[in-house]
A and B are shown apart, each in its own frame.
Chain A
Amino acid sequence: MQLEERRVGNVIVLDAKGKLTLGDGDVLLKDKIHSLVQQGHKNVVLNLGDVPYVDSAGIGEIVGTYTTLSRVGGTLRLLNLTKRIHDLLAITKLLTVFETFTSEDEAVRSFPAAV
């Protein structure tokens, strides 16, 4: 999986591309989030539009991202879930945890404005 970072206002948008599975992308995502938090960023939009497959380790890492950001008072928004990821989050009932969006603009605007 590849991860590209963009900055939109005070929000970081991460465009993920490729599989997010055990040993493929999970560590990358974790390291990226940790470095963002260290730089003081805490509001992240994870764009999963180009992620065709996520396994349980990937789900675990998305939850890890959510937890890490929550701990520093931030939030994670999920953008452009594929049907597969949507179904997986529905079955595991994790959809109730995440706020999901189909529009980047709305996702970015959903964060509280910077003080």
Chain B
Amino acid sequence: MADVRLEITDGHGRRVVRVDTPVFTIGRRSKSDLCLAGTDVSRDHAQIACDGGRFILRDQQSRYGTFVNDQPVVEKPLAHGDRIRLGRGGGAELLFLVDEVGASTPSGTSRAAVSSVENLRQMAALLEGLRALGSGHVLDEVLTLVLDAAIEVTGAERGFIMLANAEHVLQFTLARARGRVTLPGKTWDTSLKIPERVFTTGETQIVSDLRDGDLAAAHLGTVALGIRHVLCAPLRLVRYLHESGAAPEPRRIGVLYLDSRDRGILLSPTARTGVETLATDAAIAIENARLYRETLEKARLDQELRIAAEIQQGLLPEPRYVGKGLEVVGASIPCRSIGGDLFEYIDLPSGDFGFALGDVAGKGPPAALLTAALQGMFMAHAASEGGPAATLARVNQALMRRAVQNRFVTMAYGIISPAGQLTYCNAGHNPPMLFTRGGVLRLEEGGMVLGLFGHAQFAQATLQLDPGDVLVVFSDGVSEATDVAGEEFGDDRILSCIGENLHLEPAALLEHLLAGVRQFSEGTIQRDDVTALVLRYTGT
């Protein structure tokens, strides 16, 4: 058996076509076995007929003639190494090659060497691609390497990587052509049916002629380009599961699509095996690059959140404040990088000291945005005539004008005079605890949460502090911190945590409370922002 090929050199580069039909047609007509463009090529230019082991070239009354080794011919038996030219030159040149299987002629040996060199080149390209896959981090680079390797291995003219989007629809991700060039544009004339089928079934598909059968009607555009031969392989991702025993579950992420005008080696079993090997490793590399990119994006987001967190902490007052007759210390620990709790101190024009603790419903960035706005609103109204109730009524109105639907705020605001007179208003906040010699009081006077009802009314209460009294204001992140069993820290634990340690300085008391919460909820994920404020009235 002879392996007969034509090596074609033209404007598209060099490619090899197998002569494997009894009558092999050459011409501009798209149905030709070898379809060539060019002004000198007639629609039916020439044919090669196999006649008892011999191959005879016949000119088909072409306009510009057929030449073998620069001699015009009408009919000529071809020999290995003959150069065939169609027309006046400058167009395509075809080299006629015959490999006799088992041939022992010296030229046969060299041809076999050429063929194995070609195989080696294929393998080298494949290996280069695979090696690169291990180190590639950038998605575009990985895709380019994969596609170039696939084009090299198969001898295809064009290659495409189509990746599935979130809706499982295939989209062109990269198009490359022989010679390692990127095809410009966003969409190209390729089969749509074949990639979809390959993506759905997970089976590699090789189409030796797009004009065959049911494919023809769907591929008019592609066939018009002269494209006939297609190899399409799925990009299959084998996920390695952590649990042993579970079978790895393959997931398809897209397809590798190669096509060509000439069949070349595109349709050979070597090409198929090569591409399938490449496709499996490529899928892993593509997924890795994708994950890497997501990680980078996440890292950038994390960095932004870290900066936001610094800004948020910077917006809070210095934690410790020592004023006339009192000392106070506060802390806010968001459960995510930024949170929805705040505390505030203010020196009022009257010489009194104001302190507030607020909790915006929700957590994370959405709550943090509202917290910043709340802080501004509070400070704008903190010195309102009429005391804490008037302030919170105004903050409520301000929130009603601005606030996001159904987002509310709980807040406790108190004002202490140097003589120890405390006036406070509690707007739907966990009642602060006042530890006095006579027992613990809960500060409940006030009104409903802020930001939900414009008609809400607020009241305030006044009481006299004695030196040594300790006031603890906290967010529900303290009282509702849970342990591994799901039990809550609760008011009772706050009471004992503080009540048994009233001899400590405010800073130490606060640390004791926070440590108590930390230890209690050890092994769980902090679910809410934890904010607390400890104030001791020392007296004048």
Residues of A at the B interface (CB closer than 8 Å) are 22, 56-57, 59-61, 63-64, 67, 91-94, 96-97
Contact indicator A93/B446 (Cβ below 8 Å) = yes
The stretch that binds A, out of B147-155, B324-332, B424-432, is B424-432
User: Can you list 5 contacts pairing A with B, beta carbon distance less than 8 Å?
Assistant: A60-B407, A91-B431, A92-B428, A92-B449, A97-B453
A30 to B447, CA, bound (A): 26
Q: Find out whether the CB atom of A60 lies under 8 angstroms from the CB atom of B448.
A: no
Interface residues of B in 352-403 (CB under 8 A from A): 361-363
Q: Considering the complex, give the chain A residue whose CB is closest to the CB of B408.
A: A60
Closest chain A CB from B140 CB (angstroms) = 35
Q: What residues of chain A lie closer than 8 Å to B363, measured between beta carbons?
A: 22
**B406 touches which of A61, A93, A94 (Cβ 8 Å):** A61
* Alpha-carbon distance between A56 and B406 when the two chains are bound, in angstroms: 9
The reply to whether A92 and B410 form a contact with Cβ atoms under 8 Å apart is yes
A59–B428 Cα distance when bound, in Å, is 12
Most buried by A among B406, B410, B452, B453: B406
Residues of B within 8 A of A (CB): 361-363, 405-408, 410, 427-431, 446-449, 452-453
B446 contact set on A, CB distance < 8 A: 93
CA distance in complex: A93, B447 (Å): 6
CA distance A91 to B426 in the complex (A): 10
Smallest CB separation, A24 vs chain B (Å): 13
Contacts of A63 in B (CB 8 A): 406, 408, 452
Contact B405 A93 (CB under 8 A): no
A residues in contact with B449, CB < 8 Å: 92-94
A17–B447 Cα distance when bound, in Å, is: 30
Set A22, A57, A94: member contacting B428, Cβ < 8 A: A94
Q: Select one of A56, A67, A91, A96 contacting B361, CB under 8 A.
A: A56
Q: A64-B406, A93-B449, A97-B453 are in contact. Are A57 and B361 (CB under 8 A)?
A: yes
Q: Which residues of B contact A64 (CB under 8 A)?
A: 405-406
In the complex, what residue of chain A is closest to B453 when comparing beta carbons? A97
Taking chain A's interface residues, is the majority helix, strand, or loop, or is none over half, making it mixed? helix
Contacts A60-B407, A60-B408, A93-B448 known; 13 new A-B pairs at CB < 8 A: A59-B361, A59-B408, A60-B361, A63-B406, A67-B452, A91-B410, A91-B429, A91-B431, A93-B447, A93-B449, A94-B449, A94-B452, A96-B448
From B362, B405, B428, A91 is in contact (CB under 8 Å) with B428
- B361 to chain A: closest residue by CB: A56
Cα A59 to Cα B208 in complex, Å, equals: 65
Measured in the bound complex, the distance between the Cα atoms of B448 and A64 in whole Å is 15
Residues of A with C-beta under 8 A to B406: 57, 60-61, 63-64
A86 shortest CB reach to chain B, Å: 14
The 5 A-B pairs with the shortest beta carbon distances in the complex, nearest first, are A56-B361, A60-B406, A92-B428, A93-B448, A64-B406
CA A67 to CA B446, docked complex, whole Å: 22
Q: Within the assembled complex, what's the spacing in Å between the Cα atoms of A102 and B428?
A: 24
- Complex Cα distance, B410 from A57, in Å, reads 13
> Which residues of A sit under 8 angstroms from B408, Cβ to Cβ?
56, 59-60, 63, 92
Closest beta carbon of chain B to A27's beta carbon, Å: 11
Contacts of A59 in B (CB 8 A): 361, 408
CA distance A113 to B362 in the complex (A): 39
CB distance from B457 to the nearest CB of A (A): 10
Inside 8 A of A94's CB, which chain B residues have their CB?
A: 428, 448-449, 452
Q: How far is the CA of A97 from the CA of B452 in the complex (A)?
A: 11
**Bound CA–CA A61/B361 (angstroms):** 11
Residue of A nearest to B457 (CB): A96
Most chain B C-beta atoms within 10 Å of own C-beta, residue among A61, A63, A97: A63
User: Of all chain B residues, which has the CB nearest A63?
Assistant: B452
Closest B residue to A30 by CB, please name it. Answer: B406
Q: Report the bound CA distance from A56 to B431 in whole Å.
A: 16
Cβ A56 vs Cβ B362 within 8 A: yes
Per the bound structure, the CA–CA distance linking A57 and B405 in Å amounts to 11
